[in-house]
Amino acid sequence: MIQRICFLLLTLFTFSFLHAQQPAKPSAVELYHQIQKLNFLGSVLYIAAHPDDENTRLISYMSNETKARTGYLSLTRGDGGQNLIGPELRELLGVIRTQELIEARKIDGGEQFFTRANDFGYSKIPDETLQIWNKNQVMEDMIFIIRKFKPDVIINRFDHRSPGTTHGHHTSSAMLSVELFDQVNDATVFPQQLNYTSVWQPKRLFFNTSWWFYGGRDKFEKADKSKLSNIDIGVYYPLLGKSNQEIASLSRSRHQSQGFGSTGTRGDDIDYLELILGDSPTDKLNVFEGIDTSWNRIKGGASIGTLLATVEKNFDFKNPSASIPKLVEAYVLIQKLEDEHWRTLKTYELKKIIAGCAGLYLEAVAASQSTTPGSKLNVKLEAINRSSQAMTLNNMLSQTENKGEFTATFLENNKPIYEEIELTIPETQEYTSPYWLKEKGTIGMYSVSNQENIGIPDIIRTIKVTFSIEINGILIPFDREVIYKYNDEVIGEVYKPLDIVPVATSTIIDKVKIFNSLQTKTIGVKIKAGKDAIEGIATLELAEGWKVMPAEISFKIAKKEGETTVYFEVTPPSNSSEITVSSQLIINGKKEVFEQTSIQYSHIAQQQILSKAEAKFIKLDIKTNSEKIAYIMGAGDEVPIYLAQMGYSVTVLKPEEITKENLKNFQVVVLGIRAYNTVDELAFKQQLLFDFVKEGNTMIVQYNTTGKLVTKELAPFSLKISRDRVTEEDAKVRFLAPKHPVLNYPNAITSKDFEGWVQEQGLYFPDEWDATFTPILSSNDAGEEPKNGSLLIAPYGKGYYIYTGLSFFRELPAGVSGAYRLFANMISLGSKTNKQ
């Protein structure tokens, strides 16, 4: 993901951009499209590794032009990338990207799936990927998802034959897909899955090739493409007033955390498919050739097909409800199908169409956005039929409802029925949180023990109300998730999912606290109430040798959502030590151990994540001087927070505050990650910064990418950054300049300081530099040439210029002590206050 190889585009039908959770309100055109899809019984599954790998144009084409059931299986949730819209990284970023994909699919008409594989970061080759992922488990999940989805056609985004040419995750996704093609149908492979689904044989597997895989557009132009299927995905949908590419761009633009806003195009546009497995279609434009995609493909389907063909043919755009009687007849026939897969799928599709044709609006709105297990929750129900089709509301029921009395009511055309019910949330109700984050996983895999959850994209929510509607003597149950909504004075109606929360949650305010002396530090713990009138005791659990005062603190919070902060005094041991500290609350004799994280962006549904309320405390063996540091933010990182914790005075300077006068207050200027990719003003501030160095100060520049740079003059001497990176965080580090002060003062750096690094050692190292620079370190991934550009230092005037692609922005927040010691040395390199 880090590499922008995920170049594809885009997709359509519900245009709910501003408010992610708005219920679908299909127009007649959309209903007609849904009916056409109801009558197409073929499916295609697109497979790749990351959110953004998918070719949204092809997904949109399959879903909207071919009318196939179209899925995208992204092996990972994209946890490893960078976040352009906020501070969330790793698993939290995976939660955002999950939601972005779900929103993208709402537009292009696809369905989303994931395996348990974690996007652990960049890997160059599939061998490395498949060692860190549990290959067997990823295969197991892919096979389970394919057995459930039952695609006729599988399309790989990547080439299984070219390891090393793209991200290892990419090639792995294709290699596994090819390897499992026949195993899906083998009942001896993962036989326990057959308790939940059945074997399946996909008919064909394609590779969705393009010029990129041929090494350039010109090479692709000259290549022999006679064996490829060439599909013109540049179709125009007159009913929608959009081209396929325009729809795809809208879908692609949901990937906001990656900055993939995309502009639609119009006109012919060829996408190429290379057959990898299965028989070759003689009609290269029809990937479903030889597959019966009509209702005739299932036992008992022929009569349904006849009935629904009439519905499609006679569909009245001015009065969709005229179709309801026949749709209800089809509903009855579908309930009798022996084939569970098709019965479930087509029942789901048909119920949406029936409700849409009737303008039947059913909603269950909770009185508040969150509630706790065992609580009572008021829920307002609304049911309205906006058609002349006669129907009766027989019941509105929830599993957790207190009372069950309801009188069947005729749903008169355009006359709403409102009812208020009180739900009792069971004591045993699970808290709302992404199911894949509830158990402790490994670096490469999430842990999910419930087989039935595998593949499900979203948080699983179970608080629902069932509206039982009788139409023409047939009872049809419609489930609606209980949601929360309110009116915002500026943006109007805002929908949010209902969250089940603990009675109280707590957060240790500093996720990583650095102790660089025996001095006691104050630790704040913020407590938030999940219901009214809570009262309890807060404690901090520390390891041996650490001291905390007081041992417990009482607290009270009057109102739900109210917060209070309690403070502990913590003293570290004299030796160096690194511990995980947990915050615990005792309320009514029960331990509350969770921290609540809420993710709110307007393009996705609000997300609640519960994790153990923990922090890392580190007693460092580190010497620091008292330099004053100016920090210039780039794309966003937390380095200044941790420099301040080390005891430095750190000032974040805005670009316009970089003036000669202001710089006089500092000895060191540090540039945040990708500053020269993101801060245009820096192009005009370089001379000021170089002059600052010349006068005897230090400038530390962290990594920038090779993409758009605001200036070519990154340094006072020539310096060219490249895509060199060391992704193996434990790669051995060799000292090229062992006598250099940066490795000796004030901290003696040894190979031990490169132990325990996380995610990756560094990225975008320069590969060419002026002779004035001294390369300090060398390392490389297994099987690669040494990379010597991770830390380059040049004297300039009386000061020092330092360029480093080492991943300090990941290591400092993770509390890696060696990274702190090395950073302290960089800061002290030209110290005025402590010249050697």
SS3 720: strand
Query: What is the footprint of Zn ion within residues 702-731 (CB under 5 A)?
Result: none
The alpha carbons of the chain give a radius of gyration, in whole angstroms, of: 30
User: In this complex, which beta carbon is closest to Zn ion, that of residue 7 or of residue 486?
Assistant: 7
Among 1, 145, 273, 669, binds Zn ion (CB under 5 A): 1
Tokens of 141: 């999940």
Residue 625 contacts residue 834 (beta carbons within 8 Å): yes
Stretch that binds Zn ion, among 42-50, 183-191, 405-413, 638-646 (CB under 5 A): 42-50
Q: Which is nearer to Zn ion, 53 or 159 (CB)?
A: 53
Nearer to Zn ion, 698 or 727 (CB): 727
User: Is the bond into 746 cis (omega within 30 degrees of 0)?
Assistant: yes
Q: Which residue lies nearer to Zn ion by CB, 2 or 324? A: 2
Give 275's strand partners: 206
Chain residues 237-266 in contact with Zn ion, contact rule CB under 5 A: none
Contact between 670 and 631 under an 8 Å Cβ cutoff? The reply is yes
> Per this entry, what is the length of the chain?
836
CB of 209 to Zn ion, least distance (A): 16
For β-strands 512-515 and 762-769, DSSP reports them as unpaired
The distance of closest approach from Cβ of residue 73 to Zn ion in the complex, given in angstroms and rounded to an integer, is: 13
Q: Is 47 in the site for Zn ion (CB under 5 A)?
A: no
Residue closer to Zn ion, measured from CB, 7 or 567: 7
The helix (run of H) or strand (run of E) holding residue 275 is strand 270-277
3-state secondary structure 722-748: EEEEECCCCCCCEECCCCCHHHCCCCC
Q: Which residue is nearest to Zn ion (CB)?
A: 50
Q: Which two tokens stand for residue 257?
A: 């955390």
What is the footprint of Zn ion within residues 552-591 (CB under 5 A)?
Answer: none
Smallest distance from Zn ion to CB 164, Å: 15
User: Residue 158 or residue 754: which is nearer to Zn ion going by CB?
Assistant: 158
Output phi, psi for 797, to 5 deg.
Answer: 55, -130
Burial class (CB in 10 A: 0-12, 13-18, 19+), 559: exposed
Does position 50 bind Zn ion by CB under 5 A?
yes
- Between 213 and 820, CB nearer to Zn ion: 213
Which residues, at least 6 apart from 231, have a Cβ–Cβ distance to it below 8 Å? 58, 61, 270, 271, 272, 273, 285, 287
Closer residue to Zn ion in complex, CB, 6/469? 6
Segment contacting Zn ion (CB under 5 A): 49-57, 202-210, 294-302, 368-376? Answer: 49-57
Measured from the CB of residue 2, what is the shortest distance to Zn ion in angstroms?
8
Mark 460-499 with x for binding to Zn ion (rule: CB under 5 A) and - for no binding: ----------------------------------------
For residue 1, the minimal CB distance to Zn ion (Å) is: 5
**Shortest distance in whole angstroms from residue 48 CB to Zn ion:** 7
What is the number of other CB atoms lying within 10 angstroms of the CB of residue 163? 18
d(CA 251, CA 84): 18
Select the residue interacting with Zn ion from 53, 103, 499, 728 (CB under 5 A).
53
Angle 425-431-433 from CA coordinates, rounded to 5°: 140
Stretch that binds Zn ion, among 51-59, 197-205, 425-433, 758-766 (CB under 5 A): 51-59
- Please state the closest distance from residue 8 (CB atom) to Zn ion, in A: 10
CB of 177 to Zn ion, least distance (A): 15
* Element holding 615 (H helix, E strand): strand 614-619
Amino acid at 764: Y
Q: Which stretch binds Zn ion (CB under 5 A): 3-11, 157-165, 320-328, 416-424?
A: 3-11
- Yes or no: say if 112 and 75 are a contact pair by the CB < 8 Å rule: no
Q: Which is nearer to Zn ion, 4 or 299 (CB)?
A: 4
Gap between the Cα atoms of 17 and 731, Å rounded:
44
Tell me the closest approach of the beta carbon of residue 167 to Zn ion, in angstroms. Answer: 6
Decide if 411 contacts 476 (C-beta within 8 A): no
Q: Which region among 44-52, 109-117, 367-375, 659-667 touches Zn ion (by CB under 5 A)?
A: 44-52
Provide the phi-psi class of 374: left if phi over 0, else alpha when psi is between -120 and 50, else beta: left
Residue 45 near residue 296, CB atoms below 8 Å: no
CB of 170 to Zn ion, least distance (A): 6
d(CA 555, CA 119): 40
Residues facing residue 111 across a β-bridge = 71
Cβ atoms of residues 809 and 718 within 8 Å? no
- Using the rule CB under 5 A, is 174 a contact of Zn ion? no
Say how far apart CA 335 and CA 74 lie, in whole Å: 32
Binders of Zn ion among residues 309 to 348 (CB under 5 A) are none
54 lies in the site for Zn ion, by CB under 5 A: no
Q: Decide: is 379 part of the binding site for Zn ion (CB under 5 A).
A: no
Nearer to Zn ion, 258 or 608 (CB): 258
Cβ within 8 Å of residue 632, ≥6 positions away: 652, 653, 655, 658, 669, 670, 671, 672, 675, 679, 682
Task: Give 6 or 366: the residue with its C-beta nearer to Zn ion.
Answer: 6
* Options 43-51, 54-62, 273-281, 690-698: segment touching Zn ion (CB under 5 A): 43-51
Smallest distance from Zn ion to CB 166, Å: 8
Cβ atoms of 630 and 663 closer than 8 Å? yes
Closer CB to Zn ion, residue 166 or residue 825? 166
- In the bound complex, what is the minimum distance in angstroms from residue 233's beta carbon to Zn ion? 20
Q: Least separation, in Å, of the C-beta of 113 and Zn ion?
A: 16
Cα(750)–Cα(738) distance, integer angstroms: 9
For Zn ion, give the closer residue by CB, 158 or 435: 158
Q: Which amino acid is at 24?
A: A
Site string for Zn ion, 6-35 (x = CB under 5 A): x-----------------------------
Nearer to Zn ion, 52 or 246 (CB): 52
Stretch of 46-54, 256-264, 377-385, 589-597 contacting Zn ion, by CB under 5 A: 46-54
d(CA 604, CA 610): 18
User: Which DSSP string corresponds to 644-704?
Assistant: HHTT-EEEEPPGGG--HHHHTT-SEEEEPTTHHHH-GGGGGTHHHHHHHHHTT-EEEE---
Could you tell me the smallest distance in angstroms from the CB atom of residue 4 to Zn ion? 9
| Contact stretch for Zn ion (CB under 5 A) within 53-61, 217-225, 586-594, 826-834 | 53-61
Least separation in angstroms between CB 590 and Zn ion: 44
Determine the residue type at 733.
V
User: How many whole angstroms separate alpha carbon 717 and alpha carbon 133?
Assistant: 42
- What whole-number distance in Å separates Cα of residue 219 and Cα of residue 216? 5
Q: Please count the residues of this chain forming the interface with Zn ion, following the rule CB under 5 A.
A: 4
Instruction: Give residues 93-152 in contact with Zn ion (rule: CB under 5 A).
Output: none
Decide whether 157 or 351 has the Cβ nearer to Zn ion: 157
CB of 97 to Zn ion, least distance (A): 11
Q: Is residue 362 involved in binding Zn ion (CB under 5 A)?
A: no
CB closer to Zn ion out of 166 and 779: 166
Phi, psi of 23 (to 5 degrees): -70, 155
Residues that bind Zn ion (CB under 5 A): 1, 6, 50, 53
